[in-house]
Structure 1
Amino acid sequence: MTSTKKRDYITRAGWQKLADELDYLWREKRPHVTRELSAAAAEGDRSENAEYIYRKKELREIDRRVRYLGKRIDELTVVETTPDDPDKVFFGAWIDVADDNDQTHRYRIVGADETEAATGAISLNSPVARALIGKRLGDVIVVTLPQGERELEIMAIHYEPPTA
């Protein structure tokens, strides 16, 4: 039986960030909350102990996130290689584009787990990324967004972090 499950890609930096979060939660945050919970439990009546109730809830949230991260990290495929053709847009690329109003934007195509609007890190599955994949320097693409169609011209493609 062949698997039809779609692969979830991530950059090395994105994977490391998730692994660091898991490590922090497991080695630092969870033991701290467990100690605080024990101290709150020692204060007596747990049914009216706000600190105890809060720490139990916090511990459940940490455990839920730890379980999620543990599973998710194992499901991800880290992409570490640069493409044979660096003049073409692939996963992990930083792309400078100019829109139809001559405003420039920088995007980086990353996995869904590492998207961040403030830095321009967009999911491989986003409309902009799907339109950019496989295109070359100077290509003009048309992207359909909720606000309507936008034209973007590819001005630069980088596979190492751009300096400016």
Structure 2
Amino acid sequence: MSKAFTKESDGDDDEDIGALPPLPTGGKNYITPQGFARLKNELLALIDNERPRIVETVHWAASNGDRSENGDYLYGKKRLREIDRRIRFLTKRLEIAEVVDPSIHAGSEQIYFGATVSYADDEGVERRITIMGIDEADSAQAQVSWIAPVSRALLKARVGDEVALATPAGVRMLEVLEVSYPEPSK
């Protein structure tokens, strides 16, 4: 068959390049109010600003004639597919998001979603993480998704508790040193 009649994938599946992990089956998409606002702002920026700008560029490039060798047209169409895919992804994630304000647990010593936790492992190495939603966790900022193994091990524990964390190298014991939450906004 001629290559002219084969359909190349336009990447129109619902996953982004470098996509976030899927939600656990039957799980909720917990997210902080700040994370929800950030995703919503990204969605609105794509819909209101970036997509119309790219559509205008593609329209201009198409009016120039031969589309097969028109870089602006080809790149613009590709970028539109990427934007549309991201819009679909964000829309779906925001529809199923369950906004949880971690400040409701301010003052608590028990670990819930949104907690910032200091813990020491069985080798005495101390770490500090914040348990966040899947769509907002950033490991560079020591933010860990609530479905990560370390988060699952720590959830519901209290200051002073030791919890077991299963790792590929074996079971590690973690001791909870400190738990904090953001202060409620006034």
Q: One fold, TM greater than 0.5? A: yes
Gaps of 5+ in 1: none
User: How is 1:60-99 mapped onto 2 (pairs within 5 angstroms)?
Assistant: 60-80=81-101, 82-83=104-105, 86-99=108-121
Q: Secondary structure at the match of 1:48?
A: coil
Q: What does residue 142 of structure 1 align with?
A: 164
Are residues 1:17 and 2:38 paired?
A: yes
Q: 2:61 aligns with which of 27, 33, 40?
A: 40
Shift in Å at residue 147 of structure 1? Answer: 3.5
Higher strand share: 1
Shift of 1:85: 6.8
Which consecutive unaligned segments of at least 5 residues does structure 2 have?
1-24
Q: 63-72 vs 81-90, which deviates more?
A: 81-90
Matches within 5 A, 1:125-164: 125-160=147-182
Aligned length: 158
Q: TM-score when scaled to structure 1?
A: 0.88
Q: Does 1:118 align with 2:140?
A: yes
Distance 1:56 1:139 in 2: 54
4+ long deviations beyond 6 Å = none
> 1:29 is matched with which residue: 32, 50, 62?
50
Identical pairs, percent: 40
Find the aligned partners of 2:168 and 2:57 in 1 and give their Cα distance.
47
| CA distance 1:84–1:52, shift in 2 (3 Å) | closer
Distance 1:50 1:43 in 2: 11
Contact kept, 8 Å, 2:31 with 2:100, in 1: the verdict is: yes
Deviates more, 1:39-48 or 1:78-87: 78-87
| RMSD across aligned positions (CA) | 1.8
- 1:52 is aligned to 2:73: yes
Report the counterpart of residue 13 of structure 2 in structure 1. none
Q: Residues of 2 paired with 1:148 and 1:17: CA distance?
A: 37
Which is richer in helix?
A: 1
Please give the secondary structure, in 2, of the residue aligned with 1:77: strand
Asked if 1 retains the 8 angstrom alpha-carbon contact of 2:29 and 2:98, the reply is yes
The answer (yes or no) to whether the contact 2:31–2:99 under 8 Å persists in 1 is yes
